[in-house]
Amino acid sequence: MIRLFGTDGIRGLANQDPITPETVLKVALAAGAEFTKGPRLHRVVIGKDTRLSGYMLEPALTAGFIAMGMDVMLLGPLPTPAVAMLTRSLRADLGVMISASHNPYQDNGIKLFGPDGYKLSQTVEQSIEHRVAAGSPALAAPDRLGRARRLDDAPGRYIEWVKATFPKGLTLEGLKIVVDCAHGAAYKVAPTVLWELGADVIPMGVAPDGFNINRDSGALATAAMQRKVVEEGAHLGLALDGDADRLIVADEKGGLIDGDQLMALVARTFAAEGRLKGGGVVATVMSNLGLEKYLATLGLGLVRASVGDRHVVEHMRAHGYNVGGEQSGHLILADHATTGDGLIAALQVLAVVQRARRPVSECCRLFDSMPQILKSCRGDGPLLEDARVQESIRTAEKALGGKGRILVRKSGTEPVLRVMAEGEDEALVARIVDDVIGAMERAANR
């Protein structure tokens, strides 16, 4: 069986399998076969970020869907959540986002959304993989071929949808905001949304050239944004990643506010307004213990899902939660969106800031995070079964003595293993992470 899908769609190095025109064409044919049922007109929307390889993958996908009798609507560079929204809004059968999210330009990937705007289930992904393995499906007759056209007003549709999530009667007037778009998919729409709501906007990362997406910018490289906030005397900074589905905030002093703090802020606000559903928040195994303890003081719970926003969304949908996310900055606000949306999350934070009329450092940092360290080691799953690695993990757990956590897992997007530990003693946490990483490296070189 061909294995294509990881934790967040299909991803890899551009122009190397599976991110080649040939394989992408096969995926489009297979997905087209999966989603074309009956004689009615079928439609797919395709968006992308700003990577050079998007110019290669977009035509390959388009050709495949047209060959299956699907009309294709090309959105151009837009955030991943915009593709999810427009899939539903345009009553499309399928949505496709060409992006490798926070990865460098050399990588690319494909995220698929069903007609409900949610990422495909693992069952549907496996069905598509089976179809790819089976070879070319029955193609459309010459008179049933699809057509392709560009949806020129796609950015405007998304901008208005995002603005509609901001509280009515409230504006961003009086706020000076630095926004770093990572030279990615939101380079036009993010500054526009903030400006149209009244903010004084200082844009960064808005000059994509096909190669600079996420380079020293955005949610995973916030140093330049933090400095800019202080230099400009801004009230806060917002950093998005390449496909704008995650958000990291900087306060007026340049201090970072991560996804855990933002989830706490939104949950507290929604609970006070009677809007929080599910009795708490859905996060992942990576979220800090400080978040869990803080929510408990509010009488709210924290449910931990596996890493990946899809797992968070699945639990939210199954159990009726409307706030979830990841420490890395994915915030899923189910009342507004079907996937993480950095801009919508930013507007919820900005609404709190405007109403509080207090510095961001005071109103958006709600708890002290427990010391937490995360490191990575090149390797794959079998390393985790090595006896020496297992022993190092058991030793680490004993050292923490029930006052912290250690988590060792395989990355879903890269050939690396990640080791995370947290506890009250930062020096101890650092030591046990280094010990486990060292055991892995020794096992890998054996």
Catalytic residue IDs:
101
Pair of tokens at residue 94: 């399928």
Element (H, E) at 196: helix 189-196
The number of CA neighbours under 13 Å toward the Cβ of 385 is 3
Element (H, E) at 347: helix 342-356
Q: Which residue has the tokens 């699907």?
A: 70
CA distance 252 to 443: 45
Among positive and negative, which fits the CA dihedral 87, 88, 92, 95? Answer: positive
CA distance 90 to 17: 31
SS (H, E, C) 360-394: HHHHCCCCCCCCEEEEEEECCHHHHHCHHHHHHHH
Among positive and negative, which fits the CA dihedral 368, 342, 374, 204? Answer: negative
Helix, strand, or coil (residue 446): coil
Residue pair 203/186 in contact (Cβ under 8 Å)? The answer is no
What length does the chain have? 446
Residue 315 has phi, psi (to 5 degrees) of -70, -40
